[in-house]
Amino acid sequence: MPRKHFELNSDIAKLIDKYNEINDTDFNELVNKALRFYLVNQMSYKDVQDALKEADVETSRYVDEAMRSSMGDINRNY
């Protein structure tokens, strides 16, 4: 898996520390889940499918659930 380097701002670092204190979550797992959630919700369904053509079962299930949830939110707003 490729490694990326980034710096957390102080507010995010505090939130992560508190979240880890409550949930005892691995930092890498937390970052991957948060980024996946954000990106899937920012991209179109077609773009997500195209990017994850060979995704594992867990990722595919997550994407499908997120997209259904997003469509539900859209339908409630109109």
The rounded average pLDDT for each run of 10 residues, N- to C-terminus, in the chain (78 residues) is 86 94 90 89 86 70 67 47
19 in any annotated domain = no
39 in any annotated domain = yes
Report the pLDDT value the prediction gives residue 77, as an integer from 0 to 100: 44
Report the pLDDT value the prediction gives residue 13, as an integer from 0 to 100: 94
pTM (global) more than 0.85: no
33 in any annotated domain = yes
Report the pLDDT value the prediction gives residue 42, as an integer from 0 to 100: 92
50 in any annotated domain = yes
11 in any annotated domain = no
Report the alpha-carbon distance of residue 75 to residue 10 in Å, rounded: 37
Report the pLDDT value the prediction gives residue 2, as an integer from 0 to 100: 79
- The CA–CA distances, whole Å, from 70 to 14, 29, 40, 59 equal 29, 23, 10, 16
Report the alpha-carbon distance of residue 46 to residue 50 in Å, rounded: 6
Question: How many domains does one find in the chain?
Answer: 1
- Residue whose entry in the numeric block shows the structure tokens 């899937």: 40
What is the dihedral angle through the alpha carbons of 2, 51, 40, 57, rounded to the nearest 10 degrees? -80
72 in any annotated domain = yes
Report the pLDDT value the prediction gives residue 55, as an integer from 0 to 100: 66
